[in-house]
Chain A
Amino acid sequence: MLTFTLRRLLTAIPTLLLISLVIFLLVDLAPGSPLSDVPLTVPPEVRQKMLEAMGADQPVLVRYLLWLKQFFWIEPLYGIDAILGTDFAQGAQRIISWQSKMPVMDTIGERLPQTLTVVGTAYLIGVLIALPIGIYSAYRQYSWFDQAGTFFAMAGFSVPTFFTGNILILIFAVNLGWFPTIYDTNLEVVDWASFKEMLAQMALPVMVLALFNAAEISRYTRSSVLENLGQDYVRTARAKGMGEGKVVLKHVLRNSLIPVVTVIALGLPTVFGGAIVTEQIFKINGIGAMLIGAINVSDLPTVQTVTFIFAVLIVMFNLIADILYGILDPRIRYD
């Protein structure tokens, strides 16, 4: 198991490096200057100095390596310093946003918790809805419940989130006035009243994302349970006189959850993508909104770093899915 994990970890490193190169080059080779929002009245020699100060006049390779060093070495050092109060970084140059002139990582640190709260809750609720639906539709295949489940799953991943989100806002926020339309990121949960407020503002975005996730996961659960229900060990368990509940929930469920667990882990990055849209609808000040904001003012360091953070998340969850599969299914390990 240890070698299996190590092997997977080692293959993740070149993947990440290649992705970082792709992202860097794509953003870097595109036309558009970092000074495009600086007024034209600024004289050329001052512009040149501004470019030099940003480091934007260096060759591509130098800037890429510098960016890698900043991302993988200097930024973690600052992170350690911030936690332990040490001084490893010693004032080294960090990745600076061209827009706010602040370290990009600081802004990400402020924004990421917002995204994680909403996305995490939504995913958890989505899984909790999806599993029972998937199991029961498989157990009663072709029943009306299964048909309805199929339809809702189909509708769930066919109706785009920006449409459901806006319809929900229209119904529950504008017409009924139950929930606020805008997510207030400054709200801190200190007492019962603010907790209720938090729940109210999270309800709509979480509902939108959870429905979308539940649709996909319930389909996977259904097909996985269906496959296992036909296996010989199920017949054996029934022949032993075991109760249906025990057969399904203990024997079948355990085996059929193996692929589902990996699907859940693999699906998380897509959810972050979906969060970009949801954040836009509900005006959540998260990492997706940060990306869109940075794109609109061509703040390249922020765009590169945030995109790369998304890539790191994807590779990380792929890794987790692989390792989980290895733990849950011993057959995989010895490939």
Chain B
Amino acid sequence: MTDTSIKIEKVRGPWADVWAQFRKHKGAMAALVMLGALAVVCLLGPFVWRIDPNFIESDTVKMFKMRNQGPSFAHPLGTDQLGRDMLARMMFGGRISLAVGMVAMLVAIFIGTTVGVLAGYFRRIDGLLMRLTDLFLALPLLPLLLVMIFLFRDPISGVLGPRLGTFLLIVMAIGLTSWMQAARVVRGEVLALKEREFVLAARSIGTPSRRIITRHILPNVLSPVLVAATLGIAAAIITESVLSFLGLGFPPDFPTWGRLLYDGIAEIRTYPERVVWPGLAISLTVLSVNYIGDGLRDALDPRIRGR
């Protein structure tokens, strides 16, 4: 009776379980490392590599000498057709590409979750909102995006300036055209959650709908939303680069990876690396994000987690 040292296993929170399961997915872990490395290089790189990505030599003779250089110690990825340092431009472009992906995803997830929760929770507006979702799903999205950007780019740039204007327009346009999957998934979850005992209990003690949604519904739809959000980043980065590739993206002094690739296409035969680097960066980022989404889906699914 003296030393009954019972070993109490440390209680793990739900997120620790998720992390433990996530770590078993080798592809997702590798992807996490890869994405982390890419993000760190893009975000912190410019503090080490202090060349201005938009610096063009003002002396014409010097500028001509600087053009189209191959890799060297001064310019590890060479220079472009105007003598700008490609490494600096890649890091600058990466920041914008990642920012576009994140913000567009946030817009899409915000709209999608709102529509999904409202449609799932309030039966009266369910039919209307789902018709709206179906309508959006039946729209030809890429052509519409092109038309939207083309028609509104100049007016908005005139008001907000070319950088902020293009950024906001593209992010909003991508967000407005990619919320439908999230809305459908969330609605399905909410429909099932609404009939669960804890929601009924909350309602029986007179909790208003607003608080039921924020306290009980939203935390429980977090996992499908997280997965949708991860995959949404990948989709947004791809969409942005497609727009840039078709010439309806960012201005050249405010490039994304897609824009850099588009700029490289003209001289792909002589300087293929100028297409390969941005293309590789986009592909690796999107691949990593997709793998992380896959891993998250497995980790957040309680049916798989126990195994």
Closest to A310 in B: B140
Closest to A173 in B: B269
- A-contacting residues, B75-97, CB 8 Å: none
Q: Quick check: is A40 within 8 A (CB to CB) of the other chain? A: no
Contact status A277-B147, CB under 8 Å: no
Contact status B279-A166, CB under 8 Å: yes
Q: Is the interface of B mostly helix, strand, loop or mixed?
A: helix
Known contacts: A154-B287, A154-B291, A162-B245. The answer to whether A314 contacts B140 by CB under 8 A is: yes
List the B side residues contacting A174 at CB < 8 Å: 268-269
Contact status A15-B144, CB under 8 Å: no
Contact status B287-A158, CB under 8 Å: yes
Per-residue A-contact encoding for B260-297, CB less than 8 Å = 1, 0 else: 01000100110010011001001100110011001000
Task: Name the segment of B44-52, B148-156, B188-196, B197-205 touching the other chain.
Answer: B148-156
| Minimal beta-carbon separation of B274 from chain A (angstroms) | 11
Contact status A277-B245, CB under 8 Å: yes
Closest to B244 in A: A162
Contact status A19-B135, CB under 8 Å: yes
List the B side residues contacting A150 at CB < 8 Å: 27
Per-residue B-contact encoding for A196-218, CB less than 8 Å = 1, 0 else: 00000000000000000000000
| Minimal beta-carbon separation of B9 from chain A (angstroms) | 30
- B-contacting residues, A123-174, CB 8 Å: 150-151, 154-155, 157-160, 162-163, 166-167, 169-170, 174
Contact status A32-B291, CB under 8 Å: no
Contact status B268-A169, CB under 8 Å: yes
Contact status A160-B268, CB under 8 Å: no
Q: Quick check: is B74 within 8 A (CB to CB) of the other chain? A: no
Q: Quick check: is B246 within 8 A (CB to CB) of the other chain? A: yes
Contact status A307-B283, CB under 8 Å: no
Known contacts: A15-B138, A19-B138, A276-B246. The answer to whether A30 contacts B152 by CB under 8 A is: yes
Q: Quick check: is B66 within 8 A (CB to CB) of the other chain? A: no
| Minimal beta-carbon separation of A285 from chain B (angstroms) | 16
List the A side residues contacting B147 at CB < 8 Å: 26-27, 30, 295, 303, 307
Task: Name the segment of B108-116, B216-224, B234-242 touching the other chain.
Answer: B234-242
Known contacts: A19-B138, A318-B138. The answer to whether A158 contacts B234 by CB under 8 A is: yes
Closest to A16 in B: B138
Contact status B148-A26, CB under 8 Å: yes
| Minimal beta-carbon separation of B13 from chain A (angstroms) | 30
| Minimal beta-carbon separation of A10 from chain B (angstroms) | 14
Q: Quick check: is B146 within 8 A (CB to CB) of the other chain? A: yes
Q: Quick check: is A80 within 8 A (CB to CB) of the other chain? A: no
| Minimal beta-carbon separation of B251 from chain A (angstroms) | 16
A157 partner, pick from B27, B268, B290, beta carbons under 8 A: B290
B282 partner, pick from A163, A273, A313, beta carbons under 8 A: A163
Chain A contact residues, CB within 8 Å of chain B: 15, 18-19, 22-23, 26-27, 30-32, 150-151, 154-155, 157-160, 162-163, 166-167, 169-170, 174, 269, 272-273, 276-277, 280, 291-292, 295-296, 298, 303, 306-307, 310-311, 313-315, 318
Closest 10 pairs between A and B when the two form their complex, measured CB to CB: A30-B151, A310-B140, A163-B279, A158-B287, A273-B142, A158-B286, A159-B283, A162-B245, A307-B143, A295-B150
